[in-house]
Structure 1
Amino acid sequence: MAAVSTGSRSTRKHAMAREEKERFRAINEQPVDDITLEFFYQPHTISLLSLCICGLLYVAFMRDDVNSDDNIWNGLCCMVFIFLVISVLAFPNGPFTRPHPALWRIVFGLSVLYFMLLVFLLFQNTQDTRKMLGWVYPDLKNGTPDEKEYAVNCSDISLARLWEHIDFFAFSHFFGWALKALLIRHYGILWTISVLWELTEAAFVHLLPNFAECWWDAWVLDVLICNGFGIYLGMLVCQKLEMRNYYWESIKDIHSTTGKIRRAVLQFTPSSWTHVRWLDPNSSYMRVLAVGILVMIWQVAELNLFFIKHIFMITPAHPVNVIRAMLIALVSAPSIRQYYMYVTDTQCKRVGTQCWVFCAITLTEAIVCIKFGMDLFKNAEMGWIVFWFGVQLLGSLACVYLCALFAKRNEHKMDADGDGMDSDSASRVTPIHQQYFVQHRSCCTPEKTPSSSNSSPDTEFSSSPILRQRAKESLTNGAL
């Protein structure tokens, strides 16, 4: 009897380990369910190897290698290209598969390269780092810090002056917050980040003069107009995509030319869009703390950009800042999805690799800023630093906790109206969730009865309380 009990526990332990591995794979190596053209999803490893070797033979023997600077630059570019080729072959897809998994493998490869570059910079001094920046971008050799002042004549409030502040950076600010709304999809967290960022600027204004703004510029133009309308637009797009039904047809099954073109264009849209619940009425204190950490990391990532610009004397519109902003935006998309699954899915025990690299990049950027801005940080007022840290920590946790209480209040209201969370959660489960849980049902059920083997997947899904509970715990296994 003891042997039978031990064998049963061992079976359950192996089943749980297998299910945990599948959960991690779902966020770190998302499979491609809809393959429209097999050619674009086959490895082609031998062909790719042949092209790479032929290209290396050509550039090694056919180019002029007299100029040393050109040799170093071309060698670095070729090294990056080969590394990205290896990224396509070896790195995981991440949680997204549209428009093609190879794109997100390249993004992961670029993030690893950027992280390695930051680690390399930690072993350099300020003079050598500036020489390297001047070698890549000669206009940065004699760079000067951005001394543009914004907190000038704040009492002069007129429509003409307000219109002067609606420039390219205002529109980029607006669309940036719309993108953040598409990534986070939670009003409470977005507004928390928006308000706390203004407090961050106030805390670091003694180090970064550009943070000095008029009150109407900070709280009206930035928070209410740019941030507010950007958040509203992004959440509106999320609502439209969430309400849409996704039924994908292979391009080979479409006979009209217009239909094929339309299907090719739709390849650049999400394959599914599921409801996001960062906080629900049953959220534990650890989940509230995890979401608070998300707010803190986001603030540090934003703050790094301004310190990098100031310390290395890079103008706001310089390609270095643009490339860095675009890379962080691309990397943050799968990182937030993986972190969301790690926070909300009790079966997910490990954070995704892209999220790990993003956190490493953010923290290493902060170390780089401290190392090369030591003269700047010597003038830091510790009172403001402690104030910033305390406000960020308490403010993020308080706002997130209030969001959890708000969700709990809505649950009681829905229960009073006869529309509980069970039916609401089940209605948001997409066919992708059903297919995932039905495929892995064998991991949780030791044996099947003959009657259950003849039932349909939808019947099995709706009749199993275990699957319904897990569907509520992980509502976002979709591609985007």
Structure 2
Amino acid sequence: MTKPESKKSSVAAINATGKCATASPAALQVNNGTVEPGCPDQSTPIKAKVMKQTSRENLHRRNTECEVYDDGTNTFFWRAHTVTVLFILTCALVYVTLLEETPQDTAYNTKRGIVASILVFLCFGVTQAKDGPFTRPHPAYWRFWLCVTVVYELFLIFILFQTVHDGRQFMKYIDPKLGVPLPERDYGGNCLIYDPGNTTDPFHNIWDKMDGFVPAHFLGWYIKTLMIRDWWMCMIISVMFEFLEYSLEHQLPNFSECWWDHWIMDVLVCNGLGIYCGMKTLAWLSMKPYQWQGLWNIPTYKGKIKRIAFQFTPYSWVKFEWKPASNLRRWLAVLGIIFMFLLAELNTFYLKFVLWMPPEHYLVLLRLVFFVNVGGVAMREIYDFMDDPKFHKKLGQQAWLVAAITVTEFLIVVKYDPNTIMLPIPFFIMQCWLLGILLIFTWTLWRFFIRDITLRYKETRRRKQEVPADRDRPLGNGSTATPSGRSKLNGSSETLRQRKS
């Protein structure tokens, strides 16, 4: 299937040069990896280069994508049902308009009108929005979360345009318990693992840290590993966030933790175990055979139940190969992904602080569930945009919205509490961050600029050294090769003069 595409691209490349424009696709033949064109030899390097590049790209996509077998059964479950959804929506609006009595409560009617507007928008998006890269368990599921992303971004924009007081009091419309300043819990203090002063429970410091955030850390990093699909990137983000907690504990009290809470409980136990389980799941998904068969085509009940369970697994699998050091574009993209991940993590804590939401509030949990569902789609769209820019010429819609949400959340934090954000970072911490940034900048400069210039200089010097050796190499008749076209002309005229004599 790739050969016709290779031939077509080769002919287009030759026609673009203005040479051999009349060559037909049949004139190109591929035999054992070599190109045998039916046109002059001047276009052979161009065609060979295009064919080699195309075959390399196709081989890379085959290595990263799994093989999928699908019988193509189109059932009632997979249809769009746009007319059905429109009919149900119209019936609901007619019922509210003609049969239901409108309450005489302005606040209640305002809330109900906003919720109804959001539901109508979600109905439109689920049936009419553009599909993303994921299809399981159903494309409508991912279209739903795309519309939720739009609604959440609009909500953040609304909060951003309010005053600090009005924005915090607006949260009372969502939950009357909000809008009240809450004290932050300090995880630091006594950092003794074994406290001999407490005879009843000397390990009370460990049990105090074993709250609901421990399984949340494990589950969060398990899901993040499924999103990123790279062990090194996950470990770098995990360790970097602990350094951020060290650096910003003077701004948020709950960043102050014991050393063993940072590196043993978080990095090694919770995050490390989550990353390990995530990588094992990735290995299973990459080796799993993806053979899809219609539910009613399966004869046994056990097979039907198994097919229903596998409906909640991916339709196919793509192995992410980030390769950050391959070129400057991928290196900057990986740095940007790490930066946005860390910023989204920090927004979780800072938004709770500036909007006065307790950590156990359901809105905090809903935000985490939201990012779990949209983060995987965004990472897949970013990877496709990086890995295959010829086909994916623009950034995906979910990735674009997630980036906009992350930036908007940070702007809300800056506007609502600039005093906390602008607290000066301790001098020695600032020195460490400047040193790290300088090392990254130096390595980038050496890897993608100085190293490439040095390699090109060595290659040019090597070629110049090979040219004199080719000139002085004797020919078959004992004479040496003529170095220029003028000497060739003189030699041919001398031979002609001898023949006339």
Amino acid at match of 2:284: K
- 1:120-139 matches, within 5 Å, as 120-139=158-177
Q: CA deviation at 1:152?
A: 1.1
Q: 1:71 to 1:287 in 2, by over 3 A?
A: same
8 Å CA contact 1:203–1:384 kept in 2: the answer is: no
Equivalenced residues, count: 385
Deviation, 1:161, is 3.1
Distance in 1, Cα, partners of 2:115 & 2:309: 31
Amino acid at match of 1:48: V
1:345 maps onto 2:388 in alignment: yes
1:44 counterpart (81, 99, 107): 81
8 Å contact kept, 1:296–1:393: no
- 8 Å CA contact 1:190, 1:231 repeated in 2: yes
- Write the letter of the residue equivalent to 1:149: D
Structure 1 position 145, deviation (Å): 3.4
Instruction: Give 1:259 shift.
Output: 2.1
Cα deviation for residue 135 of structure 1 reads: 1.6
Answer whether contact 1:45 1:89 (CA < 8 A) is retained. yes
Rounded to whole Å, the distance in 2 between the matches of 1:400 and 1:221 is 33
- Post-superposition Cα deviations, 1:196-245, rounded to whole Å, max 9, x if no partner, equal 00111111111111101111110111111111111001001111111111
Whether the 8 Å CA contact 1:192–1:399 is kept in 2: the answer is no
Q: What residue is the counterpart of 1:290 in the other structure?
A: 333
Secondary structure of the 2:290 match is coil
For residue 307 of structure 1, the aligned residue among 336, 350, 365 is: 350
**Counterpart position of 2:373:** 330
Q: Is the 8 A contact 1:203 1:385 kept in 2?
A: yes
- Give the Cα separation in 2 of the matches to 1:33 and 1:208: 52
Deviation for aligned residue 1:342: 1.4
CA distance in structure 2 between the partners assigned to 1:276 and 1:253 by the alignment: 33
CA contact (8 A) 1:184 1:190 kept: yes
- The aligned amino acid for 1:209 is P
Any idea what the Cα deviations from partners look like across 1:323-377, whole Å, max 9, x if unmatched? 1111112111100011111122242332111101110110111111101112323
Alignment match, 1:209: 253
Change (3 A) 1:368 1:2: closer
Q: 1:184: which partner in 2?
A: 228
Instruction: Quote the Cα distance in structure 2 between the aligned partners of 1:178 and 1:313.
Output: 28
Q: Paired residue for 2:149, among 111, 129, 151?
A: 111
CA distance in 2, matches of 1:377, 1:87: 37
Q: Is the 8 A contact 1:188 1:400 kept in 2?
A: no
Q: Does structure 2 conserve the Cα–Cα contact (< 8 Å) formed by 1:35 and 1:41?
A: no
Alignment of 1:349-364 (within 5 A): 349-364=393-408
In our comparison, the structure showing a higher alpha carbon Rg is 2
Candidates 80, 87, 91, aligned match of 1:54: 91
Superposed displacement of residue 52, structure 1: 0.7
Shift of 1:7: 12
Aligned to 2:292: 248
- Give deviations 1:436-474, integer Å, cap 9, x for gaps: xxxxxxxxxxxxxxxxxxxxxxxxxxxxxxxxxxxxxxx
Deviation at 1:391, TM superposition (A): 6.8
State which of 187, 191, 203 in structure 2 corresponds to 1:154.
191
State the distance in 2 between where 1:165 and 1:140 align: 26
TM-score by length of 2: 0.70
- Give the counterpart of 2:104 among 55, 63, 66: 66
For residues 59-98 of structure 1, the aligned pairs below 5 Å read 59-61=96-98, 62-98=100-136
Q: Which amino acid aligns with 2:132?
A: G
SS at match of 1:97: coil
Q: Residues 226 and 278 of structure 2 are in contact (CA less than 8 Å); yes or no, is this contact kept in structure 1?
A: yes
For the 8 Å contact 2:248–2:425, the answer to whether it is kept is no
| 1:184/1:336 contact within 8 Å kept | yes
Equivalent position amino acid for 1:60 in 2: T
In structure 1, C-alpha distance between the alignment counterparts of 2:74 and 2:15, rounded to whole Å: 54
Contact in 2 for aligned 1:144/1:313 (Cα 8 Å) = yes
Does the 8 Å CA contact 2:179/2:355 hold for their aligned counterparts?
no
Q: How far apart in 2 are the matches of 1:3 and 1:179?
A: 47
Tell me which residue corresponds to 1:171.
Answer: 215
Asked whether the equivalents of residues 94 and 334 of structure 1 are also in contact (C-alpha less than 8 Å), the reply is yes
Range moving further from structure 2, 34-43 or 255-264: 34-43
- CA–CA distance in structure 1, aligned partners of residues 157 and 94 of structure 2: 31
Q: 1:2 and 1:115 mapped to 2: Cα distance?
A: 48
Does the residue aligned with 1:74 lie in a helix, a strand or coil?
A: helix
Equivalents in 1 of 2:441, 2:384: separation in Å? 20
Q: How does 1:368-379 map to 2 (within 5 A)?
A: 368-379=412-423
Q: How high is the sequence identity, in percent, across the aligned residues? A: 33
Q: Secondary structure at the match of 1:271?
A: coil
Whether 2:277 is the aligned partner of 1:233: answer: yes
Provide the rounded CA distance (Å) in 1 between the counterparts of 2:191 and 2:441.
33
**Pair 1:99 & 2:143 matched:** no
CA separation of 1:340/1:206 partners in 2, compared to 1, >3 Å: closer, same or farther? same
Q: Tell me if the contact between 1:145 and 1:310 (Cα under 8 Å) persists in the aligned partners.
A: no
Letter of the aligned partner of 2:79 in structure 1? Q
Matches within 5 A, 1:453-464: none
TM-score (norm 1): 0.73
Report the 3-state secondary structure (helix = DSSP H, G, I; strand = E; otherwise coil) of the residue aligned with 1:76. helix
Following superposition of structure 1 onto structure 2, how do residues 257-276 of structure 1 map, counting pairs within 5 Å? 257-276=301-320
The equivalent residue for 1:140 is 178
* TM-aligned CA deviation for residue 51 of structure 1: 1.1
Cα deviation for residue 71 of structure 1 reads 0.8
Give the C-alpha shift of residue 397 in structure 1: 7.9
Q: Secondary structure of 1:237's partner?
A: helix
Secondary structure of the 2:291 match is coil
- Distance change (3 Å), C-alpha of 1:145 and 1:56: farther
Q: 2:15–2:21: 8 Å Cα contact kept in structure 1?
A: no
Aligned to 1:413: none
> What is the SS of the residue equivalent to 1:77?
helix
CA contact under 8 A between 1:311 and 1:372: conserved in structure 2?
A: yes
Q: Which amino acid aligns with 2:78?
A: Y
**One-letter amino acid of the structure 1 residue matched with residue 157 of structure 2:** V
Shift of the alpha carbon at 1:399? 10
Higher RCO by CA contacts (8 Å cutoff, separation 6 or greater): 1
What is the CA–CA distance in structure 2 between the aligned matches of 1:93 and 1:384, rounded to whole Å?
A: 49
Question: One-letter code of the match for 2:270?
Answer: C
| Aligned pair partner of 1:198 in 234, 239, 242 | 242
Q: CA deviation at 1:74?
A: 1.3
